[in-house]
Structure 1
Amino acid sequence: MATADTRPAVVALATDIICVVVFCTVGRRSHDEGLNLVGIAETAWPFLAGTVVGWLLSRGWLRPTAVAPTGVTVWFCTVVVGMLLRKATGVGVATSFIVVASISTAVLLLGWRVGVRLMARG
C-alpha cells in the first residue's frame, strides 16, 4: 500500500498509465477497431513499456509531477520505445501515426503535469 511518501509517485505513475490507455483506446475507436480489453491491451502494451522505461530513466518517483525532466523523459520514451516495439512486432508505424502519437501523448503526459504545476501556483 502507498504511504504518504510514495503516494505522489504512485498517483503520477497511475495517471501516466491511464493517459496511455486513453490514447490507445481513442486511437482504436477512431479506426473502428474493437473496444475490448484484449484489443486495447494489444495496442497499449508497447507504449506502456515505453512509459515504464521513461519512469526508470528519469527516476520519476523523485519528481513525479515535474514537466522536466520526468514528464519529457516519460513522453519521449513512451513514443520511441512504443514505436520500436510496434515495428519489432510487425505492427504499423506510419509517419502520420508517429506524428499523431507524439502530439497526443505529449498533450496527455505533459498536459496533466502542467495542470498540476498551474494549480500549485494558484
Structure 2
Amino acid sequence: MSDRRWLVIDLVLVGVFAVIGRLSHYGTLTAGGWWTTAWPFLAGTLLAWVALVAVRRPPGAVASGVVVWLGALVGGMLLRQASGQGTATAFVVVATLVLGALLVLPRVGARVRRR
C-alpha cells in the first residue's frame, strides 16, 4: 500500500474516533462539534507522520502504526489540554485503547495478508 494511502487511512480513522466520541457523549453530530473533538488528534497524527517521513520509516509497518498511535494520542491530549478541552483519566484510557486499535490493527492485518 502506498505511503499516501496510509496517511489517508490514518486521518480517516482518527476522524472516525472523533465521530464515535461525539455520538457516544452527545448523541448527535455536527461539523463544528466533530472538528472540536477531532482537530487535536488529527494534528497529532500529522506530527507523527512528519516524524515517520523524517526518519524514513515505512508507514505501513506495525512499528510505524505505533508511532502514529502515540503521536495522535500524546499530541492530541497535549493540544486538548492547551485549548482548554478535557483530558480526564477515563477519556485518556479510552482514547489510548481505541486509537491503538484503529491505528495499529490495520497494519497488523496488512502484514498478515502479505504473508
TM-score range, shorter-chain basis? over 0.9
Alpha-carbon shift at residue 33 of structure 1 (Å): 4.8
TM-score, L = length of structure 2? 0.93
- Match for 2:88 among 83, 94, 115? 94
Q: Deviations over 1:10-53 (max 9, x none)?
A: 11000000110011100111102531222111110000000001
Q: Which amino acid letter does the alignment assign opposite residue 79 of structure 1?
A: L
* Other-structure match for 1:4: none
Alpha-carbon shift at residue 62 of structure 1 (Å): 4.6
* Other-structure match for 1:65: 60
- Match for 1:81 among 46, 50, 75? 75
- Match for 1:32 among 20, 23, 26? 26
Conserved? CA contact 2:52–2:59, under 8 Å = no
5+ residue gaps, structure 1: 1-6
The structure that is helix-richer by fraction is 2
| Distance change >3 Å, CA 85–CA 33, structure 1 → 2 | farther
Q: Which amino acid letter does the alignment assign opposite residue 57 of structure 1?
A: A
4+ residue segments displaced more than 4 Å: none
SS at 1:39 equivalent: helix
* Paired residues, number: 114
What percent of counterpart residues are identical? 45
* Other-structure match for 2:15: 21
Alignment of 1:1-20 (within 5 A): 8-20=2-14
Q: Please provide the CA RMSD for this pair.
A: 1.5
TM-score, L = length of structure 1? 0.88
